[in-house]
Amino acid sequence: MTSIRALDCCVSRFAALRAAATMTAAIAIACCIAPAAQGQVYRWVDEDGVTHLSSEKPPPGVKAERIDIPGTGKRATTRSGSSSSSSAAASAPPASAAQVAGREELLGRLRTRECVIALEALERKTGGAEPSSATEIRRLKQTADLNCSQDPVRRREQEQMAARLRVANGASCVDARNKLADMMAPGSRAPREQVKAQQAFVDEYCTSPVR
């Protein structure tokens, strides 16, 4: 009788340890998955060619690119409204303060990039530097309105970045970068000081303000 009781006790302890291990593993998996579920924004282009960026999923049926916060996952293309994405969203825990901050920082950078590129292209096309159409102008204006900041100070900064991008894309900077490439090519006898001066000019005036 004593040996049977001892066996029952061992079985009970084993079951308890197994349950605890299973719970620990489940918690560890949840901790690994949660940041990836909360660490992304969505980018898509609508039927008018306007670029949208949001921390919320796009409308049902819209094919969007999911951009993860660096270190939390890989980029993926998803179609909103699928049962798998809906169930994942329903089971995902609330985002932490760090996840929210990282997501908003990423979203801000991506919106600034779209804003600056749209403003620079809009200036070229409305200024007659390049042929365009009413549809293209409208698309660029809508993209700028959607992604540029409503804060006057930040909007001026974005407009200044667009001006820098315009210079970086201009003929003078194309020539400057080509000259630097020639000076650094194998067999070139350009003096080191001239190469350094040319590199400094390119870095200051001919480097894009957005990536």
Question: 151: how many CB neighbours lie within 10 A of its CB?
Answer: 10
99-122 pLDDT, tens per residue?
A: 788 888 889 999 999 999 999 999
| Digit-coded pLDDT (tens) for 179-191 | 999 999 999 999 9
Give the confidence band of 56 by pLDDT, cuts at 50, 70, 90: confident
CA–CA distance, 95 with 39 (Å, rounded to integer): 8
Cα separation, 147 vs 158, in Å, equals 11
Q: Where are the alpha helices (DSSP H) in 80-131?
A: 83-91, 97-126
Choose between 43 and 37: higher pLDDT.
Answer: 43
Q: Which of 132, 123, 126, 201 is nearest to 161 (CA)?
A: 123
* pLDDT score at 129: 73
Mean pLDDT, residues 189-207 taken together: 94
Say what the pLDDT of residue 78 is. 57
Select the more confidently predicted residue: 3 or 156: 156
Q: What's the pLDDT score for residue 184?
A: 94
Please provide the average confidence, as pLDDT, over all residues in the chain: 77
Q: Which residue has the higher pLDDT, 54 or 90?
A: 54
Can you give the pTM of this predicted structure?
0.65
For residue 89, pLDDT over 80 is answered with no
Give pLDDT, residue 20: 43
